[in-house]
Amino acid sequence: MMTTPLILIALSCDKTPPAATADTDPALFVADVNRKMDELYRENSEAHWLHETDITDEHEAAAAASDEVLMAYQTAMVTEATKFGTVADPDVARSLHLLKVNQVLAAPSDAEKRKRLAELSTGLSSTYGTGKWCPEGQECKDLGELEDLLAHSRDPAEQLAAWKGWHDIATPMRPDYVEMVGLANQGASEIGFANTGELWKSGYDMTPPELEAEVDRLWKQVEPLYEALHCHVRAKLSEQYGPDVVPPTGPIPAHLLGNMWAQDWANLYPMLVPYPDEPGLDVTQALVDQGWDDQRMTKTAEAFFVGLGMPPLPDSFWTKSLFLKPADREVVCHASAWDFAVKGDLRLKMCIRPTYDDLVTLHHELGHLYYDMSYQDQPNLFRNGANDGFHEAIGDTIALSMTPTYLHGLGLLEQTSESQEAVINEQMQVALGKIAFLPFGLLVDRWRWEVFDGRISPEQYNEGWWRLRAEIQGIAPPEARDESTFDAGAKYHVPANTPYLRYFLAHILQFQFHRALCETAGQDGPLYACSIQGNQEAGARFQQMLAMGSSKPWPDALEAATGQREMDASAVVEYFEPLMGWLAEQNEGRQCGW
């Protein structure tokens, strides 16, 4: 008689549902992934920080090993996540989606291939970071020295030598890049994407075809601005160098635009200033004359964000960042902001010089760090921009408030002027950076999309690169370039495998953000004259969006900041309205286009 209750109890226990685990519960699985990703990101960031701030074979190997560990974990977790199928909880479902699409290089499941992909990726970055041009009988020149030469020289032979010297450092990368593309495509196919380009295009809360159509729509909104600027700059360069060097029609030779990649033409401003007797925005000489150093420049950028109601940067930022190029070791000087997945550990890596361009860049890079700080309480998979264009746009939005009045307040401009001539000068200087950049921001990933999907074969890398540069940018190589070279690799983001569409989108979004924040600040008058400096109401609206990270689709974040759910380039057109009118007058009688 005693056995019956025991049997009943045993049967009852058998029917009790097992406790949920990360193997069966997608919410617990996501929580485990977030914890582990924090740990791996910290280790990976430390390894890459050491590699980029002290380039040695040992540090390169350590960074590659760390990449391999991170890739292996991500690959395994993406595979694991597929077992959950459709998930009802929207936060969990979004986390699983982001786990899949947030990889830049999806590693193959095969351990040897995964290791090789990590080695190739890190090695390409090292080749770029240690690149130098060593002309016979002269001291070797690094990228910074060559950029200075292009910025200031107006000798086409000297400019060509510098341009060619740097672009040739990328030639050895070519076979490794070809191999890397094959391995990355294999990894992407294993997690359900046709190729790595399709993986990249899937991270924008829309399908790849929808994204491409959206990008085309935005480009059509701003293309007339670029064509007008291109037409005027080409005419002035033809006057400067003669029609044999710069024909008055067709593409512009790439080495004559004051920038190694012809992506930013701001260094041509002294040649192109519309009204030389009126003030402009370039305060480089004032920075030098007043002895501004790296710390003062960085603290000035920080003060802008603090004035909007945001907290100061953590103390560790000032002790752990790299602000100047060291004399005792090789470093990657390309400016970048670093979030180490540890609350409060944010760093800057930049070889700061006392120039107006670097002052603007500091506002841009600190924009990344303030975004990082704003969403630091989100779980790992949500600690990112609403899309990658958002992250790039934040600091540039702030930089649009670096008006003459702001620079005058810093003591960097002796006087300001509200004359129409001064406005045209200021707009020309801004446009040579921002409008000139737009097609380059578009074409770098267009090239990679075609490389990844095979439309551009390894035997056509250079031909495809210059075809797109001619079609979209109206830029030509300064000399014949064949397939023995790898000119795309001379741009940091290609060997570093950094998706580039983000910069095109950022150049649209920053003006859209700027217009909305100016309205919030109650600013009257033209958009180009607005500065939100010190306006905490605008700062609060901005922070509302920043704190969301990538927890919601980007239209939700865009709506929080602007009230709109669609990216819109009309603010770019509105901002540059005075310059467009002036350029139309200048271009009368010229044959524009290429």
Residue 157: CB atoms within 10 A of its CB come to: 9
Pure H helices in 1-56: 3-14, 26-53
Q: Which residues pair with 322 in a beta bridge?
A: 349
Q: Could you tell me which residues come within 8 angstroms of residue 435 by beta carbon, excluding any fewer than 6 positions away?
A: 222, 225, 226, 229, 572, 576
Q: Which amino acid is at 52?
A: E
CA distance linking residue 493 with residue 441, whole number of Å: 11
Active site residue 194: no
**H helical segments located in 375-419:** 388-399, 404-409
At 175, the amino acid letter reads P
**For residue 357, what are its two tokens?**
């361009």
Q: Which of 364, 391, 507, 514 is catalytic?
A: 364
Instruction: Tell me the CA distances in angstroms from 266 to 199, 280, 282, 288, 548, one per residue in order.
Output: 34, 12, 9, 18, 34
Please give the Cα distance from 372 to 491 (Å, whole number). Answer: 26
Collapsed DSSP state (helix, strand, coil) of residue 91: helix
Rounded Cα distance, 372 and 45, in Å: 14
**Taking the CA of residue 29 as centre, how many other CA atoms within 13 Å lie in the half-sphere pointing to its CB?**
20
Smallest CA-to-CA distance from 390 within 418, 422, 368 is with 368
Give catalytic status of residue 493 as yes or no: yes
Among 22, 335, 470, 547, the one annotated catalytic: 335
* Separation of alpha carbons 201 and 449, rounded Å: 9
Tokens of residue 293, six digits: 């150093």
For 379, list phi and psi in degrees, rounded to 5.
-65, 160
The type of residue at 350 is: M
CA distances from residue 587 to 228, 267, 474, 577 in whole angstroms, order as listed: 7, 21, 17, 15
Catalytic annotation, pick one of 493, 507, 538, 571: 493
Chain-centre distance of CA 183, in angstroms? 24
Helix (H, G, I), strand (E, B) or coil at 432: helix
Percent helix, strand and coil across the chain, each to the nearest 5: 65, 5, 35
Our answer to whether residue 363 is catalytic in this structure is no
Amino acid identity, residue 194?
A
- Active-site residue, from 60, 198, 227, 365: 365
Q: For residue 239, indicate whether it is catalytic.
A: no
Which of these is catalytic: 60, 392, 426, 450?
392
Is residue 341 part of the annotated active site? The answer reads: no
> What gap in Å lies between CA 29 and CA 38, rounded to an integer?
14
List the helix and strand counts (H, then E) for the chain: 24, 4
Active site residue 204: no
User: Count of alpha carbons within 13 Å of 442, Cβ hemisphere only?
Assistant: 27
Active site residue 365: yes
DSSP lists the bridge partners of residue 337 as 348
User: Looking at residue 324, what DSSP letter applies?
Assistant: S
Q: Is 368 marked active-site?
A: yes
Q: Using an 8 Å Cβ cutoff, are 96 and 81 in contact?
A: yes
* Cβ-based neighbours of 81, under 8 Å, separated by 6 or more: 26, 29, 96, 99, 100
User: 34-55: buried (b, 16+ CB within 10 Å) or exposed (e) per residue?
Assistant: beebbebbebbbbbbbbbbbeb
From 151, 334, 421, 537, active-site residue: 334
Q: In the structure encoding, which two tokens stand for residue 449, read together?
A: 């999309």
Catalytic annotation, residues: 334-335, 364-365, 368, 392, 493, 503
